[in-house]
Structure 1
């Protein structure tokens, strides 16, 4: 006898219409598969998503990458910093290599194009609930294209400069143009802590300013632009 497996699920998308479509799709699977999706909440922003994830601890988050006030990549990083233990399946219209690479690098369990939802969703859920990463062939190609270009080079560079994981994260947001206050908010740390990390980064890179740090980080391949 097949046993129903209940999956508490948080829907994160800034489009109410798409969230309604997801509800319809999940209702279909609830009556036609061994999965029982229990929708615990809906979020339309990064802040709402992180708040509900920490309050409800859903097993699965279905995450769009177009989220105010920043994007779903920030949501993934924030979820990592609040120690969210569930799975995050990205549902996105973005097919660009850079978006796919950054989403997976930030901790997504899988990446699914929105127009492939009807045909690939079941396989994606099955894969990530078995603690594996889901990437359809087209997505995997895009991911590994940038992985080979950036990741190896970035890893070697970070090891050579001796940046800690948190310093790499601060440097990432610095390169994105974020202020100290914005970095603190994104990483859930204080502004004083951000300043301390920046001081350490400047010393390790042997630079004296934010601009010099950004230029050197990009030149060394420490981060993706």
Structure 2
């Protein structure tokens, strides 16, 4: 028996949402997918409210909303511990948009211009906990990944951050406490504190918050 997938549509254009509903209904009738659209949202607040209310298995997300961007939506979903999947449907084809969306937790990315051709396969893969990356999206992602990796490497070299200090800084940016960082890296809390002292000196900051902000600005870690 096919499990019904509860879907939330997120886009600030009503005509697009209607067209998407029509396409999803077509899949219900003519394909093996069983889909129930549990709601439509056009803002971050609506997305979070409907997600908490309906707990959809899948969210179809546009990256550019009038009141907020899709990256903020992805971050907001993390904050409420959303356990489902997010598939991005976007007009943005720029490498950095693709990279940011995937890094923020998207399970797949489709250009709206390819929606009719790719949506069925994308939904099928994403609900099976696979990542959906059509060739044109994968190329953009890895181009940006390569460029960013090189940029991050140069920034770390310039600051003389050690590999361990980069790991500590990464977990610091994730909001981990000294005790949590120590457990993740299998070191003592005293060692973590020593690394933080060195990191603060190299970044020329005096607090954890300043270290995170500076590292994000330099591209060493991501928000």
Alignment TM-score, normalising by the size of structure 1: 0.75
Corresponding position of 1:74 = 72
- Say if 1:41 and 1:110 are closer, same or farther in 2 by CA, change over 3 A: same
1:167 aligned to which of 173, 177, 185: 173
Q: Secondary structure at the match of 1:150?
A: helix
Corresponding position of 1:64 = 62
The 5 Å alignment of 1:2-21 reads 3-21=1-19
Larger radius of gyration: 2
Query: How well do the aligned residues superpose, as a CA RMSD in angstroms?
Result: 3.1
Structure 2 unaligned residues grouped into runs of 5+: 176-196
Shift of 1:167: 2.2
Alignment TM-score, normalising by the size of structure 2: 0.75
Preserved contact between residue 73 and residue 102 of structure 1 (Cα < 8 Å)? yes
The 5 Å alignment of 1:100-119 reads 100-119=98-117
Shift of 1:70: 2.3
Q: How many aligned residue pairs are there?
A: 193
Runs of 4+ in 1 over 4 A off after TM superposition: 151-159, 208-217
- Say if 1:159 and 1:16 are closer, same or farther in 2 by CA, change over 3 A: farther
Structure 1 unaligned residues grouped into runs of 5+: 170-199
The separation in 2 between residues aligned to 1:212 and 1:57, in whole angstroms, is 36
2:132 aligned to which of 134, 144, 150: 134
